[in-house]
Structure 1
Amino acid sequence: MGVTTKTGEKTSYLAKENNITLPVTVINGKSDGPVLLLTAGIHGDEFPSMYALQQLQQSIDPKEMSGVLVVLHLANLDGFHANRIALNPKDEKNLNREFPGSVDGTPTEQIAELLTREFIGKTDFLIDMHSGSANQTLLNHVYSPFVGNKELDALTFEFAKATGMQHIVMYGDRPRDPNNSISYPNTAMTRGKPGLTTEIGHLAQTDEESVAEALDVAKNAMYFLKMLPETPKQHPEPVIYETIKYPKSSKNGFFKASVVIGDKVKTGQDVGAVTDYFGNLVETIKSPVDGTVMMVNQMPAIKDGQSVMAIGVEVSE
């Protein structure tokens, strides 16, 4: 995109193409190694990873690093400045549902195409760093996708464990067609490149604990790839989930959860209630599975067919 970063140097700049502007840092290590792409702000209201990646790029000396680190600080700049939950105000689209994008498409589709071509196209490993939006509480976790390629899927799982995160979700629900890849990390996976999604922090907060965990994840990824001379610190008690289920409301009205993130629930257990606009109980939401509460919708407004929380199901022994 018109900027060269020489061996042993670091460059931070606004990368521009047509109507797209992206804040980028490229750190070109002194020694050979892989290309790692770390991205924040696919959703502009998810802040901890943005701060973490700022701290990361400021702390690294390229002369002490191997490989190339590409930091995309904010992929959805318009959503960030508009204080929007997930969407891009230019076309009301979710960037993480528009890949691989289109050069002739809407503004969000054009960003997706650029990220596919210029970022994913030149990387070896990718981490898409998210958090819970302003309407969600969230149990920190990492998605380890699988696409039916045994070697790639195994490497991706090792990469996920190396992040040091305790809760790891195995995720095989995305399309396996590179021309209909839908999400950012899945676009990497369908092109043979490990792509993780991390979820750290929630409620659009910027607390130091969440920023620190996101920073640790980024550093562990670099240690795993031998870009920095340390050993990744895996969590001593990882919890692996085989799927996530999303109980839904069948009514319109007000939702209030009766569980919190991290709670263990049983099939059929009450997990929340829906009242009508007058305060009358119209539905009790029950868990469809035995599992752990991973996310809870904290906004009271609920509609028929809308999910109210996420419940992770652990891998059976």
Structure 2
Amino acid sequence: MKNNKRSYFFIKQWMLVVWFLTSSTAFAQAPFELANVLTEAGQSNSYMAKENDLEVPVTVIHGTQPGPVLLLTAGVHGDEFPAVLALQRLRDEVDTKQLKGTLILVHLANLPGFHARRVALHPLDNKNLNREFPGDKNGTPTEQLAEFFTREFISRMDFLIDMHSGSWNQELLPHVYSPFVDNKELDDLTFEFAKAIGMQHIVMYGERPRDPANSISYPNTAMTRGKPGLTTEIGHLGQRDEESVEDTLTLSRNALYFLEMLPGEPTPHPNPVIYDKLKYVASPADGLFTPRVEIGSVIEEGTIVGDVRDYFGNIVAELTSPVSGIVMMINYTPPIKTGETPVTIGLEQDI
């Protein structure tokens, strides 16, 4: 990935061949079916996708002309809000007469987690949806939900963006994960997709399994099935700030332009920063954590990034960075347990 010399033109041509050969809409704009609901060409259809006890609010915008199927998903973690609000606005602004292909908006993937105000987890089984893919139709509620997304959504799309933000305890530098699975054409296309959405900080991520039957995360389930799947992180501390909502809308528009689903040109960031790895700083003790650095800080190996105090206020540990890099994430709130990693450092790629 460091020495990618494949031209942008070639990448786009390969991308178009992929959706032309695999998309259900490649030859004609027949009605688009999702979760047993048909959406006619030229229609925008918002409904609750249902199966047994599962309910997922979705919008299918089915263009009048053939093109790729783009899946944008908010609320895999129910306490992450900017993308939820951004997709509501995107629903209202996309013109079906201009759209080529099909846009699927999952407004809230984890509806029970949203209403329970749970950090990442489903309230009925305390499982993280983004760790249970490809799921099990006969499993726990979270496993059933993962299987539903694998079968009904990932099988029908060509490109995925899984939209996240910082939970109530987490500050983060906005970034996008560009996964790779050691398939050069797919990995190169995914990287071009990641650059095109316009975010400055891009993390190359190859830590998930290559086995489709043990894909673990939502985007990796797409990747192990030959489809680009990105994860974006925009927003922090469980907020719903306007800047994060607008930034999420901007990357969504760029994705549509890149895929030539709407008229317009994507705007990549003029100075992208590519990261090879993330390093995590762990706490050796229980207590209260206080950060000593800020998001986006450039730090050297050995920099004190935070301290841990006991319940009486005495410092019991100073946490130091094991590497030189950029502070990507901070678990900002005080509670800390032994082994938890309140600071994440990004290692910039050598060009």
Query: How far apart in 2 are the matches of 1:123 and 1:285?
Result: 43
TM-score (norm 1): 0.99
SS in 1 for 2:38: coil
Structure 1 residue runs of 5 or longer lacking an equivalent are none
How many residues align structurally? 317
SS in 2 for 1:220: helix
* Deviation of the 1:231 alpha carbon: 0.4
Match of 1:49 among 71, 83, 89: 83
Amino acid at match of 1:218: S
Query: How far apart in 2 are the matches of 1:120 and 1:235?
Result: 28
Q: Percent identity?
A: 63
Deviation string for 1:141-174 (max 9, x for gaps)?
0000000000000000000000100000000001
- Mapping of 1:1-317 within 5 angstroms? 1-317=35-351
Query: Please, what is the CA RMSD of the aligned residues?
Result: 0.6
Query: How far apart in 1 are the matches of 2:335 and 2:239?
Result: 21
TM-score (norm 2): 0.90
* Deviation of the 1:191 alpha carbon: 0.2
Query: How far apart in 1 are the matches of 2:254 and 2:328?
Result: 23
Query: How far apart in 2 are the matches of 1:243 and 1:193?
Result: 23
SS in 2 for 1:13: strand
Instruction: Tell me the residue number matched to 2:23.
Output: none
CA contact (8 A) 2:68 2:102 kept: yes
Query: How far apart in 2 are the matches of 1:207 and 1:266?
Result: 31
Query: How far apart in 2 are the matches of 1:158 and 1:88?
Result: 33
Amino acid at match of 2:170: Q
Amino acid at match of 2:212: P
Query: How far apart in 1 are the matches of 2:331 and 2:106?
Result: 28
Deviation string for 1:170-199 (max 9, x for gaps)?
000011100000000000000000000000
CA contact (8 A) 2:305 2:343 kept: no
Amino acid at match of 1:54: Q
* Deviation of the 1:63 alpha carbon: 1.1
Query: How far apart in 2 are the matches of 1:276 and 1:204?
Result: 26
SS in 2 for 1:62: coil
Structure 1 residue runs of 4 or more that deviate by more than 2 Å after TM superposition: none
CA contact (8 A) 2:131 2:217 kept: yes
Query: How far apart in 2 are the matches of 1:44 and 1:25?
Result: 18
Structure 2 residue runs of 5 or longer lacking an equivalent are 1-34
Deviation string for 1:98-154 (max 9, x for gaps)?
000000000000000000000001100000000000000111000000000000000
